[in-house]
Amino acid sequence: MLVLDGKIAAAAVKESLLEKTNALKAAGKRSPHLAAILVGNNGASETYVASKVKNCEETGFESSLIRFNNDVSEAQLLAKISELNNDESIDGILVQLPLPDHINDKNIIEAINPKKDVDGFHPVNIGKMVQGVDTFIPATPYGVLLMLAHYNIETKGKHVVVIGRSNIVGRPMSILLSSERPQGNAYVTICHRNTPFEATKQMTLLADILVVAVGLPGFITADMIKPGAVIIDVGITRVADSTAKKGFSIKGDVDYQQAITKAAAITPVPGGVGLMTIAGLLMNTLKAYEAQ
């Protein structure tokens, strides 16, 4: 069984990016610059943003972290985004989600200049993706595509089952894998919370490639997996664990120990898709820089 190690695949992407950044600097040009906005002190968000900043450093990118307290107004946040939109030294902008309840995520996402939307969430970029036009791909689905490419996982003509239909992962993943593109040309089935469990199980047992993004730890068990399937586990949930130093463990949507008895390849959690999400974000940032 092949472990689709995100550390190895992400390292390959970052090495390529570092070479490009070094070449830019050698030519007297500036590095790509990513600006991240973090609201409040959510533990998971703090970890994610810190990792993004660290990865920028490792690839020679510039990064700016802008912090706001939890009580920041939507107007203040929109004003900062407008400032970043107009700053020619900033190539990519991301706003770490989730945001406090009093702030409308939709308004914030739509305020970001689509040319700097390196998270790939803006409706303009989503529309282009659906039409097959070159654009920023949402970072997590992009990371999955990079993972599949690194490990030479064939998708053409394969039956892909996507569990989950969020705008961040499930829906774009289904579109990308069925599109006319490298790591595409698959035929895709989507299951979601309103799909009866037995119907979901029938589909997963037919899946050559199974992409799971539902946020339910251990949802996929061995009896739901086709022998020889490729499993992409996007789920990442903190589960209380008194034996762990931090008081919690990170679990995926797939029961890993069961899955390895059936799968031909699988992403671990942690150490899989999460690392590739950041790789996708960095690739988008370089793309935004080159477009400028």
Residues 212-253: tens digit of each pLDDT:
999 999 999 999 999 999 999 999 998 888 888 888 889 999
Which domain does 230 fall in, by range? 139-274
Do 186 and 257 lie in a common domain? Answer: yes
282 within a domain of the structure (yes/no): no
Do 155 and 244 lie in a common domain? Answer: yes
**Amino acid at the residue 28:** G
Q: Both tokens of residue 40?
A: 């409040």
DSSP H or E segment with residue 34:
strand 33-39
- Candidates 57, 73, 47; CA nearest to 282 is 57
Residues in Cβ contact with 225 at an 8 Å cutoff, skipping those fewer than 6 apart: 204, 205, 210, 231, 259, 262, 263
The SS3 assignment for 128 reads: helix
What global pTM score does this model have?
0.95
**Cβ–Cβ under 8 Å, residues 148 and 155:** yes
128 within a domain of the structure (yes/no): no
**Cβ–Cβ under 8 Å, residues 284 and 136:** yes
Beta bridge partners of 191: 163
**Amino acid at the residue 198:** E
The CATH number of whichever domain residue 168 belongs to comes to 3.40.50.720
pLDDT > 80? residue 183 = yes
284 within a domain of the structure (yes/no): no
Active site residues: 52, 96, 119
Do 110 and 212 lie in a common domain? Answer: no
What residue has token string 């570092």?
18
Query: Is cis: bond before 138, omega within 30 of 0?
Result: no
pLDDT > 90? residue 58 = yes
- Candidates 137, 145, 91; CA nearest to 116 is 91
**Cβ–Cβ under 8 Å, residues 130 and 179:** no
What pLDDT sits at residue 158?
A: 98
Do 106 and 144 lie in a common domain? Answer: no
134 within a domain of the structure (yes/no): no
Do 153 and 46 lie in a common domain? Answer: no
Q: How far apart are CA 155 and CA 183, in angstroms?
A: 6
The CATH number of whichever domain residue 66 belongs to comes to 3.40.50.10860
11-15, 40-44, 151-155, 162-166: which range is least confident on average? Answer: 40-44
Q: How far apart are CA 174 and CA 194, in angstroms?
A: 17
Per-residue b or e along 79-105, where b marks 16 or more CB atoms closer than 10 Å to that residue's CB: ebbeebeeeeebbbbbbbeebeeebee
Residues 18-33: tens digit of each pLDDT:
999 999 999 999 999 9
What ranges make up the beta strands (E) of the chain? 2-3, 33-39, 62-68, 92-95, 159-163, 187-191, 209-212, 230-233, 237-240, 248-251, 265-266
Q: How far apart are CA 16 and CA 278, in angstroms?
A: 14
Relative to beta strand 237-240, strand 248-251 is: antiparallel
Domains in the chain, number: 2
10 within a domain of the structure (yes/no): no
What pLDDT sits at residue 247?
A: 86
Do 151 and 261 lie in a common domain? Answer: yes
